[in-house]
Chains A and B, each alone.
Chain A
Amino acid sequence: MNLIKLFILMVPFYLFLTGCYDKTELEYQAYVVALGVDKGEGDNTFKFTYQIANPETGTAIGGGSSNEPASEIITVEGNDFLTATTTANASVSKKMTLDHTKVLVVSEEVARSDNFLGLMQTASRTTQIRRQVQIIVSKENARDFIKDNKPQLETRPHKYYQLMLERSTETGIVPESDIHRFFQLTEGDADLFLAMYTTATVEKTKNNGTEDEYKAGEIPKKGGNPAEFMGSAVFKEGKMIDVLDGQNTRLALIMDNTLEIDDLLSTYQDPVKEDYKIAGDFSKKSPTKVKIDYRKDVKTTIDVTVPFSFEVLAIPSLVPYSQDEKLREKLKASIEKSLEKKANKLIEKAQKEYGSDPFYWSLYIRNEFASIPDYEKADWNKKIWPNAEVNVDFQMSRLEFGKMVNDSQLNEVRD
């Protein structure tokens, strides 16, 4: 009996000796904030760029030297995210952890290649890369983007990415594109995945666009950070096929019920004085209604109704819309029409060019099928969507004019 007791007493001691396997002190770890992927030298290798946050920047305690840069950027060639960190350790003194990675920057070159899906599969196997990491497609090399991206207000890169992504997805000029959604859409084998599109090198600017008719790199601006988030990269079956500009991205987001868009300020043509534009706040209070009428071997009709309300923010033409019932009707009709026109154009492009939809509408046809094999046989991408008849109807339920009843008449003022 005593021997057994002794043995039992020994077990904890044995275990004490075995502890501490996964123990790592905080300062022995390097926190990767952004991950970049570029095409490597070999056929199936990639160049991985790690942006490592420097903890001593921007903290009051410790009083470290403030001249150190906010982050260290290192690029190594490798096969996948994790093994490449070991290579990177050749020059980084700490253990690299990807737990706090906020973004995965993929160069357009890699995104358009066939290897991209395979690379993403490796990401899903490890627990370190979270499902909420956002995929960003950069026009240039991911390394260049990360290197050139020098925000002025946020010295610490993780804060910059957090705030930047939050704000730009709120306005809808880029879609929310986390890894989780990438897998759902890609593995679902229907619909298109939209990823944020970005660049830090401005090549040529486009001067005649309105506030959102740009793709990243086209925005005429001066000063500030060279990095721009605008538009979206379109992925079909795990491979990038096209780029949508900000406006089309916004439209796609409006019509997709699974994504949110909070802050949609934009301008529309003034229906009375056509040289002017009217600015307003578009808001979608209830979800888009998608009704799919599917019958086997007959052309599918898809009826889409987008209910929205509109708050006028600026009428530079000074047309008294708020006073006149008829003018109001006219404005309403014109906004609805312009939205429908744009939407139809996008849908047409999606049907003809992409052969799939960026709105996640395949969801609405699923209830027609009892089982997955039936559903897969019906084939949304190849059979249903390209041949479907899509009717889009934007319905303005409310038109508001802000807190001013009327604009002051410029002519009278100048008298």
Chain B
Amino acid sequence: MLRFLKNNLKNSSKEDNEKYPSIAKNLDKNVKQLNKMFSSDKNSDFASREFVAQYSNNKINIFYYSTIVNGDKLYTGIIQPLLENVGETLKNVVTLEAIEELSTYEDVIEHINSGYVIIFEDTLDKAFAIDVAQFQHRGIEKSQNESVIKGPKEAFTEALGVNVSLLRKRFHDKQLINESLKVGERSKLEVNLLYVEDLVNNDVLKDVKKRINDIKSDNVRNVEMLEQFLEERPYSIVPSILYTERPDKAATYIEDGYIVILMDNSSACLIVPINFWAFFQSPEDRYLRFLYGNFTRLIRFIAFFITVFISAIYIGVTNYHSEMIPPDLLLAITAARERVPFPLVFEVLLMEIAFELIREAGIRIPNPLGPTIGIVGALILGQAAVDANIISPIVVIIVALSGLTSFAVSDVSMNYSVRLSKYIFITASAWFGMFSLTGAFIVWISYLSSLKSFGVPFFSPVTPTYKSPGNNLFRKALKNEIWRPGNIKPKDIKKKQTE
């Protein structure tokens, strides 16, 4: 039934496209058509101008959105030459770089939307498009969410061209391809795939392109949304695409044969295919010296385990295996709990949810109010709740620890999956102690290991094994990184020439 409806919809949209007549030789007809299509009487920034070209003495009409084009460029590069210069064809007259010839109205609409100026000339059944776009965007700023101490600070910004330039600056290779695709049915936006032609795995590349072309949505505004259209398992607890705002991180992946996906309107890029380990890595690990880098990695993995398991283990051990706690600690916890009115599980959940609230409020709160959240959170939820015997102090420690360590998992998506997993494990251990906790852990691990990101197993190259730079849980010294990650099957596996 649904499928039938879908088919119907598809057909109707096709008919829509076919409604446009072809471009006529008569200028007036074209102008009328275009004005109708863009509702020029209502659309205030849709501009058109008519004049007679010097070189051919034909009437000319130009169309553009005044808000997204560069006015100076338009005047000095197009209008002035057309009015004054003499030449054979339009292309000789206009001094600006690229002039495209368009033959359908679809192309015309698309180009106007992208900030082009469209020129119609009487007696010609085609239009010319010249790029004078000037979309507004931020400048290049410091990376906000993936900050480093040692290493470059630049971050992507919401302009595609700038982002590509940031990447090309980092990787000088003639094989670095910037392939452009269109996405969206109604609003066609540009998606750029960056990869190294003689490294990238063609199957993965084909798969990515196919998935982008298969998107039938009217509008895909930015990479954050594109990510959700691309992934295989939208309901999965773990992400399968890496999202980063750091051009240096993206460049490292390009070098190894990964594909980077960029779009306008996003100050970040997507990297595919990806594995589990990449979500815990920061580019700083490789900028720091061997020992220091590995030390931070170790800390991060410990933090990961604490985040996921500490609350669950606390519940499991205290509720089911109290013999395990050393007697001094046991008596201390017991004494603290004597006057707490709730069961321990409830106590932990209460505190965990309170912490999530603080975190959520911290993100949403307007900046000037920021400091208050700290006071409210720390004082009311920590101190006062303990004094009021609502929770025991040890639970505050446990939850604070699990909350604090969760920030060490810096990837936004992984951070959420870690936090959600935490609740799965809390439920499991509240149910049958360490028995069900272990069971849940095994199921969880086996689920992760069965996942694939664009055909690449999630735990590879550790298991299944592949040749790799050894940059997983820990990393090797840079000069020992001989191979590219074999799990993504690059065309050239050797990274360092050893002779």
Contact = CB atoms under 8 A, between A and B. Distances in A.
A179 B383 CA distance: 46
Residue among B322, B332, B340, B433 with max Cβ neighbours from chain A (10 Å):
B322
Contacts of A33: 327
A159 B332 CA distance: 13
B337 A26 contact: yes
B323 A61 contact: no
Interface residues of A, number: 29
Contacts of A64: 335, 338
B52 to A, nearest CB: 73
A25 B330 contact: no
A55 B331 contact: yes
A26 B327 contact: no
A158 interface: yes
Interface string B313-356: 00000111011000110111111111110011000000000000
A99 interface: yes
A15 B439 CA distance: 14
Nearest to A30: B334
A197 interface: no
Interface stretch (A16-24, A75-83, A404-412): A16-24
B432 interface: yes
B332 to A, nearest CB: 5
Contact of B344 (A19, A26, A158): A26
B394 to A, nearest CB: 8
Given A16-B431, A27-B337, A61 B332 contact: yes
A59 B336 contact: yes
Interface residues of B, number: 27
A413 B120 CA distance: 124
A128 B323 CA distance: 9
Contacts of A29: 322, 334
Contacts of B393: 61
A27 B327 contact: no
Contact of A62 (B323, B327, B335, B433): B335
Given A59-B332, A64-B335, A19 B432 contact: yes
Contacts of B327: 31, 33, 53, 100, 158-159, 162
Contacts of B431: 15-16, 19-20
Contact of B433 (A15, A16, A22, A156): A22
B319 A23 contact: yes
Contacts of B337: 25-27
A24 B343 CA distance: 10
A25 B338 contact: no
Contacts of B343: 25
A305 B343 CA distance: 61
Contacts of A25: 318-319, 337, 343-344
A63 B490 CA distance: 65
Contact of B331 (A22, A128, A156): A156
A97 interface: yes
A26 B328 contact: no
Contacts of B323: 97, 99-100, 128
Contact of A159 (B328, B338, B340): B328
Interface in A1-45: 15-16, 19-20, 22-27, 29, 31, 33
A33 B327 CA distance: 9
Interface of B: 318-320, 322-323, 327-328, 330-340, 343-344, 392-393, 430-433, 436
26 contacts: A19-B430, A19-B431, A19-B432, A22-B320, A22-B433, A23-B319, A23-B320, A25-B319, A26-B318, A26-B337, A27-B337, A29-B322, A31-B334, A55-B330, A55-B331, A55-B332, A55-B334, A55-B338, A59-B331, A59-B336, A62-B338, A97-B322, A99-B322, A100-B327, A158-B328, A159-B328
Interface of A: 15-16, 19-20, 22-27, 29, 31, 33, 53, 55-56, 58-59, 61-62, 64, 97, 99-100, 128, 156, 158-159, 162
Closest 8 CB pairs of A and B: A99-B323, A55-B334, A55-B335, A55-B331, A19-B431, A59-B335, A158-B327, A26-B334
